[in-house]
Chain A
Amino acid sequence: MSGEAEAFAGSGRMRLLYRLRVATREPTTLVGLAMAALFAYLIVVPIAAILLDAVTTQFGDERRTGTAAGGWTLYYLHRSLVSPIAGVMFWQPLWNTLSVAATTIGLAVILGTPMAWLVSRTDMLGRRWFATALIVPYMLPAWTFALAWTTLFKNRTVGGQQGWIEALGFSPPDWLAYGRLPITVILALHYTPFIILLFGNALRRFDSQLEDSARILGASRARIARSIVLPLMKPALISAIVLIFAKCLGEFGVAYVLGLPVKFEVLATSLYRNIGSRQTGVAGVLAGAIMLLGILTLLVDAWLLREARRFVTVGSKGAMDRLTRLGALRLPATGLAGLMFAASVGLPVLTLVLSTVMHVPARFTAANFTLDYWIGRDLDTVALRQGILLTPDFWRAAWNTLWIVGSASITSGLLGLLVGYTVVRTPVRPLAVFLRQVTFFPYLVPGIAFAAAYLSLFAVARGPLPALYGTMAILILALIADQMPYASRAGIAAMMQLGKEPEEAAQVAGSGWLHRMVRIVVPIQKGSLVTGVLLPFISGIKGLSLFVILAVPSTDVLTTWSLRLVDYDYTQAANAVVLMIAGLAYGGTLVAQRLTRTNLAEGLGG
């Protein structure tokens, strides 16, 4: 009897052994710990490193800061925020960033809300077609438009091929050709789809019984719109606005192409220039400022949404597709939408296409058309003496893009699913919380700041790692980290829906962990895995801000290579590459939507 009692009590050592045995029987937690370490290294450490750069003396700055390299200093903060050049370096770019973002949002709301309404709640002609067509600007890289703009409006301020207007004999003023106005207009056109998607979606889901109730009580249509519909649409509108603001913070390409000629700087371009001139400490301050703004935006968003969601309504059977009859306004409304499409897609794309098949801008004679810039040989130029499709550099950049973006997307998609699995399954709650938060963190950090962080950390050999600058590895790692917020969210959402039981059933039937992952979990999650790989792949193909800091000529991807072409004023070649990127991104998005039957709006809403 005493033996049995002892057997039940068990020694402390046995209990510990038992705990260990139970805890390690499933590798979930071990896998989770490994991932936590990986993400700490890929996400937390780089960000810490660049923030540290801002307050420690950089190599070569010892004389200025008065401390040894690596010592604490306020020099960079002082230089960026209060010194005589702080205005040029920080305050002016900050003001430009904020004011461009604000104007962009205003324009996008003005343009987007009527379009959202037309597309989702009226009997406008070609409504379904417009629903997709008006989203196209978002599928194209933003600086596609910037190149189209310069192609049209470039003046004598900069050299190279003339702009079309200039070629026609008019000289566009600087304010029209470069700087604030074109940047704002282009960003507004690019981000209007956010409003159309998010606001339109909310309008579509709006319960028309709510409108009916107000009508029965005698409210006029205007009154209903003002008192019922708009207040309920607030959360969707806020989401869209915050999203646009966050995107504008890190926007680099448009400001770079259109701002540089007139020295119109935003935070992202100032950061880029400081990195270019090896002002690592100041770059740290700027990256920190961009991150801080990003985090603040998200906090404001969370707060606003909490306020707004108090009265969020649940769609019921009343959420039917009842359309407003436009009557006599039907044709004008359709025309308006058509105009919007022409301005935001038709004109820019057409300009770019034409620019790549014409010798001299804006001269519409048969002799002026050529395919030389695509497939010509032995051209009469200083460099790039053959068409873009015959240039080895192009194919190398295309291959790099495919390889870098592809491997990063597949890795982050799989990691995302694994994060989802661990977060949902591990019994160790702190691990789940850490993984969820650390993978979300890059969302708060605009790509350009993140890239700067990578540069700061991996430019030199650290510990066992060799210096990664100039390798593909640094691009792949940065891209993986940058994509983790989307990948992990998709993974967590998918795993939440799966439930434990299919897996437990396999387990009882005799299936071990790896077998279950391969035979049960991944096959069931195939759909979300495809989405989790494809969507980041598309945004990676058209992404610029992350690559522009980390890529060197040998690791050029299509976007950075086309930017180099812009820098060298190879207008036609640059435009051709950008067109191909746009085509890839557009086609890829359509394929992704077709394959997974996902709605882009949901992918965006995040």
Chain B
Amino acid sequence: MPGIELRKVQKTYGAYRAVSGLDLAVRDGEFLCLLGPSGCGKTTTLRMIAGLENLSGGALTVGGRVMDAPAQAVFVPPERRGMGLVFQSYALWPHLTVAQNTEFGLRLRGVARPERQRRTTEVMQALGIEALRDRYPSQLSGGQQQRVALARMLVVNPEVLLLDEPLSNLDARLRLEMRAELKRLHQAFQTTIVFVTHDQWEAMTLADTIAVMNAGTLQQTGTPDEIYDRPANRFVAEFVGSPPINILEFAGSDALAAAARRHLADRHPGITGIGSLGIRPESIALGPGEAPAGAEGAFTAPARVTGILPTGGSWIVELDALGRTLFLNTHVAPQARIGEPLHLAVPDRALNVFDARGDRIAAADAALARAAA
């Protein structure tokens, strides 16, 4: 299976830059999620890989073969790239039955009839749509249509499978099932998959690697854990995670931020140029009464519970700490009563330190991790 490489890829529409300076490599057989808010350029990127859009600059290679490079005047049209693409709307051909939709690609490749039928049936069986073979798309449910769209692409064994938010039109339960199915298919076929989504939960559960995009530029690539635990900048930190990360701005008049600044200045004088601090809701622990004086390797502050929001199996706790509202996420039923004076503690290694521009201060990570040891 081929890898995909995008180098300095640009896409402009007139003056508007949809994608700029995108460097991204997808390894053979990797499941990569392009994650970002709507309008961030992730679908445009996918369409450029498919060849439905051409590059304005940079180069795209697949399996070592240049597919699109303006500077070299190379452009391989989509019909000759041998990829598979599943659309958000499925885009099934309304005038063809399920079986005809599925075998379309094989017909195009001139596969002989017996072989065609065998492979079509095989894929339809694998996806559980064999019984629907003579129905038309308008007679199918959303989930069934989705499977047909997938079958249509899988039947030709594409080396690269591109998926554009294929699950967003399904209900929650079906989405979960299809997610498991996609993961299973990926393991079975070892196809290189690029999956576009704005749903972080989907990206987290499916991807080997997540590439987070915003405003046409790549923000960070990494494993789901890396993206969550060590966001490269404020955007990634705030886009990924629900409830969202708590941000303490050092520039303002926030008393809690001032306390955090004193703590870092005391314990980690080597870290400089901090603009803000991010604290994941799971990182916050609550303790009774006043904070223990001089707690080692953790930032503490007095706090009161102002609200408890059960979400079924976990709880979101709203805190007031030195006049700042924070959110805490816990899987243990909170014992605290509303208004009770408590203290919060965040281990130093769980602090995300950003500079004034919002980029992660990577040098701080080692120091903070050492403090915990």
Query: Which residues of A come within 8 Å of B, CB atoms?
Result: 7-11, 14-15, 17-18, 21-22, 25, 499, 501-502, 504-512, 515, 520, 523-524, 526
For the complex, what is the distance from the CA of A511 to the CA of B51, rounded to whole Å? 13
Considering only residues 105-126 of chain B, those with a C-beta below 8 Å from chain A are 105, 108-109
Q: Choose among B8, B80, B87 the residue with the greatest number of A CB atoms under 10 Å from its CB.
A: B87
What is the chain B residue whose CB lies nearest that of A522? B95
> A15, A502, A509, A523: which contacts B71 (Cβ < 8 A)?
A15
Docked-complex contact A18 and B70, CB < 8 angstroms:
yes
> A10, A501, A523, A524: which contacts B87 (Cβ < 8 A)?
A501
Chain B window 70-95, contacts with chain A (Cβ cutoff 8 Å), 1 for yes, 0 for no: 11111101111111110101011111
Interface of B is mostly: mixed
For the complex, what is the distance from the CA of A504 to the CA of B84, rounded to whole Å? 11
For the complex, what is the distance from the CA of A9 to the CA of B87, rounded to whole Å? 33
Residues of A near B80 (CB, < 8 A) are 510
What is the chain A residue whose CB lies nearest that of B85? A508
Interface presence of B216 (CB below 8 A) = no
Residues of B near A17 (CB, < 8 A) are 73
Docked-complex contact A505 and B156, CB < 8 angstroms:
no
Interface presence of B58 (CB below 8 A) = yes
What is the chain A residue whose CB lies nearest that of B53? A22
Residues of B near A501 (CB, < 8 A) are 87, 89, 91
Residues of A near B8 (CB, < 8 A) are 8
For the complex, what is the distance from the CA of A9 to the CA of B93, rounded to whole Å? 41
Residues of A near B84 (CB, < 8 A) are 508-509
Docked-complex contact A504 and B91, CB < 8 angstroms:
yes
Docked-complex contact B105 and A22, CB < 8 angstroms:
no
Interface presence of B265 (CB below 8 A) = no
* Nearest Cβ on chain B to A359's Cβ, whole angstroms: 57
Docked-complex contact B79 and A507, CB < 8 angstroms:
yes
What is the chain B residue whose CB lies nearest that of A4? B7
Interface presence of B104 (CB below 8 A) = yes
Interface presence of B236 (CB below 8 A) = no
What is the chain A residue whose CB lies nearest that of B92? A502
Residues of B near A22 (CB, < 8 A) are 54, 75
> A7, A9, A11, A502: which contacts B94 (Cβ < 8 A)?
A502
Docked-complex contact B75 and A21, CB < 8 angstroms:
yes
Docked-complex contact B75 and A9, CB < 8 angstroms:
no
For the complex, what is the distance from the CA of A25 to the CA of B73, rounded to whole Å? 13
Interface presence of B248 (CB below 8 A) = no
Interface residues on B, range: 35 or more
Residues of A near B89 (CB, < 8 A) are 499, 501
Docked-complex contact B93 and A520, CB < 8 angstroms:
yes
Docked-complex contact A502 and B105, CB < 8 angstroms:
no
Q: A8-B8, A8-B58 are in contact. Are A507 and B71 (CB under 8 A)?
A: no
Kindly count the residue-residue contacts between A and B in the assembled complex, taking CB atoms under 8 Å apart.
Answer: 101
**24 sample A-B contacts, Cβ–Cβ < 8 Å, listed by A number:** A7-B71, A7-B72, A8-B8, A10-B71, A14-B71, A18-B70, A499-B91, A501-B87, A502-B91, A502-B94, A504-B50, A505-B91, A505-B149, A507-B77, A507-B78, A508-B79, A508-B81, A509-B84, A509-B104, A509-B105, A510-B79, A510-B109, A510-B156, A511-B108
Docked-complex contact B75 and A506, CB < 8 angstroms:
no
What is the chain A residue whose CB lies nearest that of B101? A505
What is the chain A residue whose CB lies nearest that of B83? A508
Interface presence of B152 (CB below 8 A) = yes
Residues of B near A524 (CB, < 8 A) are 93-95
For the complex, what is the distance from the CA of A510 to the CA of B76, rounded to whole Å? 12
Residues of B near A526 (CB, < 8 A) are 95
* Nearest Cβ on chain B to A255's Cβ, whole angstroms: 47
Interface presence of B251 (CB below 8 A) = no
For the complex, what is the distance from the CA of A509 to the CA of B71, rounded to whole Å? 27
Q: A7-B71, A17-B73 are in contact. Are A507 and B94 (CB under 8 A)?
A: no
Interface presence of B227 (CB below 8 A) = no
Interface presence of B224 (CB below 8 A) = no
Docked-complex contact B93 and A508, CB < 8 angstroms:
no
For the complex, what is the distance from the CA of A15 to the CA of B69, rounded to whole Å? 9
For the complex, what is the distance from the CA of A78 to the CA of B209, rounded to whole Å? 81
Residues of A near B57 (CB, < 8 A) are 8
Interface presence of B170 (CB below 8 A) = no
For the complex, what is the distance from the CA of A21 to the CA of B72, rounded to whole Å? 11
Residues of A near B7 (CB, < 8 A) are 8
What is the chain B residue whose CB lies nearest that of A19? B70
What is the chain A residue whose CB lies nearest that of B71? A10
Docked-complex contact B75 and A507, CB < 8 angstroms:
no
Q: A22-B54, A507-B78 are in contact. Are A14 and B73 (CB under 8 A)?
A: yes
Residues of A near B153 (CB, < 8 A) are 508-509
Docked-complex contact A9 and B71, CB < 8 angstroms:
yes
Interface presence of B52 (CB below 8 A) = yes
* Nearest Cβ on chain A to B82's Cβ, whole angstroms: 7
For the complex, what is the distance from the CA of A510 to the CA of B107, rounded to whole Å? 10
What is the chain B residue whose CB lies nearest that of A16? B73
Residues of B near A15 (CB, < 8 A) are 70-71, 73
> A7, A25, A506, A507: which contacts B93 (Cβ < 8 A)?
A506
Docked-complex contact B87 and A510, CB < 8 angstroms:
no
Q: A8-B8, A501-B87 are in contact. Are A506 and B104 (CB under 8 A)?
A: yes
For the complex, what is the distance from the CA of A512 to the CA of B108, rounded to whole Å? 10
Docked-complex contact B73 and A505, CB < 8 angstroms:
no
For the complex, what is the distance from the CA of A515 to the CA of B57, rounded to whole Å? 30
Q: A10-B72, A18-B75 are in contact. Are A509 and B152 (CB under 8 A)?
A: yes
Docked-complex contact A505 and B94, CB < 8 angstroms:
no
Interface presence of B40 (CB below 8 A) = no
Residues of A near B52 (CB, < 8 A) are 504, 507-508
Residues of A near B94 (CB, < 8 A) are 502, 524
Docked-complex contact B79 and A512, CB < 8 angstroms:
yes
For the complex, what is the distance from the CA of A48 to the CA of B187, rounded to whole Å? 67
Interface presence of B59 (CB below 8 A) = yes
For the complex, what is the distance from the CA of A505 to the CA of B79, rounded to whole Å? 10
For the complex, what is the distance from the CA of A499 to the CA of B90, rounded to whole Å? 12
Docked-complex contact A510 and B91, CB < 8 angstroms:
no
Q: A15-B70, A502-B93, A506-B104 are in contact. Are A8 and B59 (CB under 8 A)?
A: yes
* Nearest Cβ on chain A to B58's Cβ, whole angstroms: 7
Residues of A near B93 (CB, < 8 A) are 502, 505-506, 520, 524
Chain B window 40-77, contacts with chain A (Cβ cutoff 8 Å), 1 for yes, 0 for no: 00000000001110100111000000000111111101
> A25, A511, A523: which contacts B75 (Cβ < 8 A)?
A25
Docked-complex contact B73 and A18, CB < 8 angstroms:
yes
Docked-complex contact A505 and B54, CB < 8 angstroms:
no
Residues of A near B77 (CB, < 8 A) are 25, 507
For the complex, what is the distance from the CA of A18 to the CA of B76, rounded to whole Å? 11
For the complex, what is the distance from the CA of A355 to the CA of B85, rounded to whole Å? 68
What is the chain A residue whose CB lies nearest that of B108? A510
What is the chain B residue whose CB lies nearest that of A508? B85
For the complex, what is the distance from the CA of A313 to the CA of B95, rounded to whole Å? 35
* Nearest Cβ on chain A to B291's Cβ, whole angstroms: 55
Residues of B near A9 (CB, < 8 A) are 71
Q: A22-B75, A512-B79 are in contact. Are A14 and B70 (CB under 8 A)?
A: yes
* Nearest Cβ on chain B to A601's Cβ, whole angstroms: 26
* Nearest Cβ on chain B to A10's Cβ, whole angstroms: 3
Q: Choose among A8, A10, A15, A17 the residue with the greatest number of B CB atoms under 10 Å from its CB.
A: A8
* Nearest Cβ on chain A to B179's Cβ, whole angstroms: 22
Q: A508-B50, A509-B104 are in contact. Are A8 and B71 (CB under 8 A)?
A: yes
Q: A8-B57, A499-B89 are in contact. Are A509 and B108 (CB under 8 A)?
A: yes
What is the chain B residue whose CB lies nearest that of A22? B54
What is the chain B residue whose CB lies nearest that of A523? B95
For the complex, what is the distance from the CA of A524 to the CA of B91, rounded to whole Å? 12
For the complex, what is the distance from the CA of A232 to the CA of B152, rounded to whole Å? 49
Chain B window 7-19, contacts with chain A (Cβ cutoff 8 Å), 1 for yes, 0 for no: 1100000000000
Residues of B near A8 (CB, < 8 A) are 7-8, 57-59, 71
